[in-house]
Amino acid sequence: MDSSSDLSDSASDTSGDLSPSDDLFFDPMEEHLLKEVVELIACSLRDAKDSECALRCSRLLIPDKLLQHIGRELVHQAASEPCGLRGALIDLCVEGQDQSCESVSQLSVDPYLVPTFQLALVLRLETSGIWPKIQGLFSPSSPLAGVIRQEVKLSTGFRVIKKKLYCSEELLIEEC
């Protein structure tokens, strides 16, 4: 069985258990909101694969459980915030192979609420293993082959940078 989700279609599977009920930081009231936010992230990634960013490709592969892991980290980061997850402003970014960080989308969890904290969610492209090295061998040879890659796979690791918007001194960086 494939270990990645393919977001090249309009369907994606984010229906897994996103509620980390064993987690001390989990608030049952935010479970529905969390599912919406994770679906919004998946939708933003789907849209980004058709844009002029680092994710431009025919097929975007997302490792199993990555969206769930992101969801758990969002809940963890929101637990100590006055408005919880509703107060989040999420910058969805992709770190390219050249280590540059490119913004894909900015998501306001609750557009009617002034954000209380900002999360930069930095996703990485898969660069290890053999696939990135041999992928070009399977791409059609056309003038556009270098512009639109056939497949882009996200890494299982990501980084979260948290900035409290009501306190100018606190910045937290977590590697996941």
Q: What is the C-alpha separation between 157 and 79, in angstroms, rounded?
A: 22
> How many domains does the chain contain in total?
1
Q: Is the pLDDT of residue 10 over 50?
A: no
pLDDT for 76-124, tens place per residue? Answer: 999 999 999 999 999 999 997 778 889 999 999 999 999 999 999 999 9
Adjacent-strand bridge partners of 115: none
Mean pLDDT of 63-85: 93
CATH number, domain of 36, equals: 3.90.470.40
- How does DSSP assign 130-175, residue by residue? SHHHHGGGGS--STTTTTSEEEEEEEEEEEEEEEETT-TT-EEEEE
What is the pLDDT, as a whole number, of residue 135? 55
Cα–Cα distance for residue pair 120/6, rounded to 1 Å: 24
Range of the domain at 168: 4-175
Q: What is the pLDDT of residues 24-62, one digit of tens each?
A: 555 577 789 999 999 999 999 989 888 777 778 888 899
Write the CB contacts of 97 (distance below 8 Å, at least 6 apart in sequence).
125, 127, 132
* Residue 95: both structure tokens together: 């770190």
Is the pLDDT confidence value at 145 over 90? no
